[in-house]
Structure 1
Amino acid sequence: MNRNEEYKALRDSLVETPSQLAYTVTKAVKRKKASRKRTRILGIPAGSLAVCFVAFMLLVNLFPPFARACGGVPVLRELAKAVTWSPSLSAAVEDEYVQSVGQEQRKNGITARVEYLIVDQKQLNVFYTLDTDQYGQLDADGAVTLPDGGDGYSSSSGSYGTPNGDLRQLTVDFVDRDMPEGLTLTLNVYQSAYDENGIAMESAEETMEDTYFKVQTHDPKILAVFTFDLTFDPWFTAQGETVAVGKTFQLDSQTLTLKQAEIYPTHLRLDLGYDPDNTAWLTGLDFYVENERGERFVPVTNGISATGEENSPSMVTYWMDTTYFSNSKELKLYITQARWLEKSREKIRLNLATEEHDPLPDGTELAGIQHLERGYLLTFREKQYREGWMYSLWNGHLDAGGTAESFSSSVSSYGYQEPDTGEYLDGSVSGFFYETVPLPDYHGTEVWLKPVFTRVTDFSAPAAISIR
């Protein structure tokens, strides 16, 4: 009997828990889980399968507790490999916080099988496989339908290109509502345009204008549609803890409030509030949380990192690796960098003919403007604010009439070749990179750019706020 089965047996034996003991029982079960937690290992960003496999092998070979955890539960070995990029999900698998499903369907020579769920109050991770003896590399677009037909969630998949037969993952995050008792998963399966090594099976030469201006469509031929009705064990969907903090502090002359921390088995959320008299919007943070033993928890490296609010550019909730399995009695937030959008610089004017412009975000220069037959290409030289970190600086633009548009694409690279001279510029040696954004079919002489942030502050002494 594994730990989940022990907990369920305990739950089922309490046919009717007296109301005054309900919280005590829940707390005791959670404490039992946390007290048996092994040392957590930081994962890696989701990338190539080869990188994930190397990371898993390192974990198994260098850290005996992790190897014993996987070796003692053979059925979870493949799942442990699939989540090495996420410290939170790795901790969940190590602690056997997994709901087995085992639903399988076969259509048109394709087999789809939902193997496992990792679920709590706010996040669902579905692990499934696709296999075939008729087609080549398969991919699938996944979607979910809630029992009430509502929304309040977002879904994503980083499993495109996963070899047939290997575990794939679909993540559903609930922002404005809690996890339902179940939902319907739909998988639209098609043959991938790429092989398992990520190489296009049919590649056509594209011009630079095609790369930036061609409307990208995703309309593959669907080979099979699978529908799975998933029901969640209520024990899992009840897991989570909200810690009321309510501490107001100053950060770079702006007033913020850490309202609460939401601690779930799959992740942790930090909810912030802002003083309306602030002169800048907080649009990004670098931070970590540390417990009383010096164990450090960092922002998520793949998936949702922050969510905002409807009426401002501010990010109000920051997502990070969970402390749920760590048995932490004390938690403290340390902020090392803040990225601000100054309210006086929410839009930046750029003249497309003369290249004159308002002051650009700190650390940014205009590298060049190309006027092509199908529109403009704007290239900027931008500062790396973390080593090896490229980002998208622009959140869209406004035309002369004030109509807001998002950029259809954004391409970032360390190198840039000047179109007039042919000179190749390498920004990596000096801590910069180049970002190019298109303005297709743009006929105005001026454009107003909307930056994500305009200044960045690094704190040599991190700002520290106690969570509990």
Structure 2
Amino acid sequence: MNRQQEYWDLIRELDQPPAALEGAALRARARAKRRRAGRRWGISLGSAAGVCAAFVLAVNTLPTFALACGKVPVLRELAAAVAFSPSLSAAVEHDYVQYIGQSQSFEGLTLTLEYVIADAQQMVVFYRTDGGAYPYYSVSCDLKDETGSPLQGYTVTSGDSREELKQFEVHFSALEEIPQKLTLEVELWGSDHEGNEERLGHVYTFPITLDPAKTAPAVELPVGRWVEADGQWLLVDRLELTPTKTALYLADDPDNTAWLEDLDFHFTGENGAVYDAMDSTISASGGYTYYFQSLYFVEDRSDLILHLDGAVWLDKEAGPVTVELAANTWTGQLPEEVTGLTVERVSTHSTGEEWAVKVRSTTSRSPFELEFRDPEGGAHTTGGYSMRNDREAPGNYEFEYILEGYPWDSAQFTLSFTHAGSLDLAIPLGDS
């Protein structure tokens, strides 16, 4: 039996629910109606995605329903995959899931693309792997149009999830329109329990056709409002809403004395509803575009209010911090939140004894960029850093930067920020 036939057989089985589910869907729908007084359900439970939506609702509200989902594993896994993402849960609830159900095998490893949620900004693909030598897999993916020409203007992110139903995201950064027919060329990466990765070197090719009725165009909300934040001026330009995320576009005044490095914000809506989730499909980008929980399905967008809660800044005139490693001293201006800097010699598993720069701070944001320079101007990278909470002083953090294979006695670090501030700004979007 192929995966698509199995899927529809499972859908038909829902006409005769197991005993543990009797009445559960009705109770879930009744609860939804109570919470959404006067609002339409918004989906057809006769459709496949509508059934999935009922599962999402019930999994999040009824423990007995979640336990009984073991009898319908495909739907159970989809519900589990989106249960912790407000954006994807809402997309499923409103019937924006498209079923793929294609499998390909190579040398005992089968890759199956199960579902896709696509809109003008992002395509989320749900997949599974069966067989193979590795416990975990992630993917890389190239996109081509119907003629076989490579598409441009997108990035792909994928993690090595332990869930049976995994996902990867295709973010359309400069692609103006998603072709209705396209080909996904997918490569698998295997990883072991220690995190070692191997590119497996086989391309799985999946031609898919997207339903334009389930590939929503972006809805633009113009704002065009200047606000003053920490003495700097920001233009809240516009929002773009899609079923999978919200994009907030900002600009700054060229006369500002600091660059905006990060922004903390949330939205409120009708009857005091709060939207503040940064779920697994959302990430902040560099520059002045921020991605957030989807507001696409908010019924009355005129009630939306953007709240700016905090900002992180980098002074345009901020210079580097030079650390004299052997002398355990430093020169330059550290961020206001940094409370101390020390240098030690530490032992590492791979290279032996190395310099370690340790920075104490009252914020969980790393004060240094990963790239640093030696006294002769050469560029190096720490490759990352470790951060730990100070148990004796809650709200304080220690960052450690290891300088592997570094023979010089001084190092020059570039700041990632100079100061952070709390904000209390409310911008009604309905007045825009």
- Answering whether residue 371 of structure 2 is matched by residue 409 of structure 1, we say no
Matched, 1:344 2:343: no
Give the Å deviation of 1:435: 1.4
Provide the residue aligned with 1:335 in structure 2. Answer: 308
Given that residues 122 and 170 in structure 2 are in contact (C-alpha distance below 8 angstroms), is that contact kept between their aligned partners in structure 1?
Answer: yes
Partner of 2:207 in structure 1? Answer: 229
How many Å apart are 1:193 and its aligned residue? 1.0
- Superposed counterparts of 1:70-149, under 5 Å: 76-132=75-131, 135=133, 137-147=135-145, 148-149=149-150
Return the TM-score normalized by structure 1.
Answer: 0.70
Contact persistence 1:142–1:185 (CA under 8 A):
no
Q: Which amino acid aligns with 1:430?
A: P
How far apart, CA to CA, are the structure 2 residues paired with 1:463 and 1:340?
17
Residue 235 of structure 1 aligns with an amino acid whose one-letter code is: A
1:466 aligns with 2:405: no
CA shift, 1:179, in A, is: 4.3
In the TM superposition, 1:196-275 aligns within 5 A as 200=194, 218-219=197-198, 222=200, 225-275=203-253
Equivalent residue, structure 1, for 2:416: 452
Distance 1:58 1:35 in 2: 21
CA displacement 1:387-412 (0-9 Å, x = unmatched): xxx44332232333445544312111
Aligned to 1:288: 266
Say which SS state the counterpart of residue 92 (structure 1) adopts. helix
Q: How many Å apart are 1:142 and its aligned residue?
A: 2.3
Give ranges in structure 1 of 5+ residues lacking alignment: 1-33, 39-54, 195-199, 201-215, 309-314, 385-389, 415-425
Per-residue Cα deviation, 1:11-65 (whole angstroms, up to 9, x for no partner): xxxxxxxxxxxxxxxxxxxxxxx95459xxxxxxxxxxxxxxxx9987232799x
Q: Could you tell me how far apart the structure 2 residues matched to 1:144 and 1:63 are? A: 41
What's the offset of the Cα at 1:379?
Answer: 1.4
Distance 1:428 1:262 in 2: 44
Shift of 1:240: 1.5
Q: Distance in 1 between matches of 2:361 and 2:185?
A: 41
Percent of aligned positions that are identical = 31
How far off is 1:442 after superposition? 2.7
Larger deviation, residues 172-181 vs 366-375 = 366-375
Q: Which aligned pairs between 1:157-196 and structure 2 lie closer than 5 A? A: 157-158=158-159, 160-163=160-163, 166-181=164-179, 182-189=181-188, 191-194=190-193
Question: Structure 1 residues 358, 326: CA separation in 2 closer, same or farther (over 3 Å shift)?
Answer: same
> For residue 197 of structure 1, what is the aligned residue in structure 2?
none
What is the count of residue pairs matched by the alignment? Answer: 365
Q: What CA distance in whole angstroms lies between the structure 1 residues aligned with 2:310 and 2:332?
A: 25
Indicate the residue corresponding to 1:441 in structure 2: 405
Alignment-mate amino acid for residue 327 of structure 1 = E
Greater strand proportion: 2
The AA in structure 2 aligned to 1:298 is D
Residues 84, 376 of structure 1: alpha-carbon distance in 2 compared, 3 angstrom cutoff: same
Distance 1:136-1:466 versus aligned 2 partners, 3 A rule: same
TM-score (norm 2): 0.75
> How far does residue 362 in structure 1 lie from its aligned partner after superposition?
1.7
How many Å separate the matches in 1 of 2:322 and 2:153? 35
Unmatched runs of 5 consecutive residues or more in structure 2: 1-38, 44-55, 347-351
The residue number in structure 2 matching 1:376 is 355
Alpha-carbon distance in 2 for matches of 1:346, 1:266 = 40
Indicate conservation of the 8 Å contact 2:359/2:400, yes or no.
Answer: yes
Aligned counterparts of 2:113 and 2:241: Cα–Cα separation in 1: 27
C-alpha change, 1:340 and 1:356, in structure 2 (3 Å) is: same
CA contact (8 A) 1:268 1:321 kept: yes
Distance in structure 2 (CA, Å) of the matches to 1:261 and 1:35? 25
